[in-house]
Amino acid sequence: MTESAHARKIAFAAFVRRALDDARAMRAWSGTEVSRRTGVSRQTINRWVRGDWASDPEAERVVAFCEGLGLNPTTAFAALGWERAATQRAATAPPPMDPDVEALLRRLVDPNVSDAEKFHIRETIRYLAYRPSLPMDVRKRGNRAG
């Protein structure tokens, strides 16, 4: 293995470890929960943490991992030495954000908001983000009944 390939493995492993540590500390997510929310298997995540991979991780899996944790994939791409791909991806403008979501984000970073309140905001967002959607015909029936 070349020295640069080894360095990339170490850098990406450190990135994944930090992401997992943050998920545990900030969201109280286990490794299983991270896997479920990102769609990346625990085995794959564990190989990334150990730097135990023969060929580069698939970009789609790296993106899924990052997006599931609310991280910008550009950082992971840079750790992997994919600066060109990271630059291209960063060039796309983010979608417009709903004003209510912006207000919640501001509360989450506001030092005057209690940790308990931030916890409740995160739990509510998590519940809404991952609850199953009702099929359209069930929603329509509910509107007619009311």
Where are the domains positioned within the chain? 1-87, 99-130
At residue 66, the pLDDT reads: 93
At residue 106, the pLDDT reads: 87
At residue 40, the pLDDT reads: 94
pTM of the model: 0.57
One pLDDT digit (tens) per residue for the chain, 146 residues: 577 888 889 999 999 999 999 999 888 999 999 999 999 999 999 999 998 888 889 999 999 999 999 898 999 999 998 875 444 545 566 677 788 888 888 888 888 999 999 999 988 988 888 787 777 765 566 555 55
CATH number 2.40.10.10 given to 1-87: no
At residue 61, the pLDDT reads: 93
Q: Which residues contact 99 (CB under 8 A, 6 or more apart)?
A: none
How many CA atoms lie less than 13 Å away from 39 in the CB half-sphere?
10
Backbone angles phi, psi at 37, to 5 degrees: -75, -25
| DSSP-assigned letter for residue 8 | H
Question: What is the rounded CA–CA span in Å between residue 127 and residue 75?
Answer: 27
At residue 87, the pLDDT reads: 47
Indicate the SS3 state at residue 22: helix
At residue 98, the pLDDT reads: 82
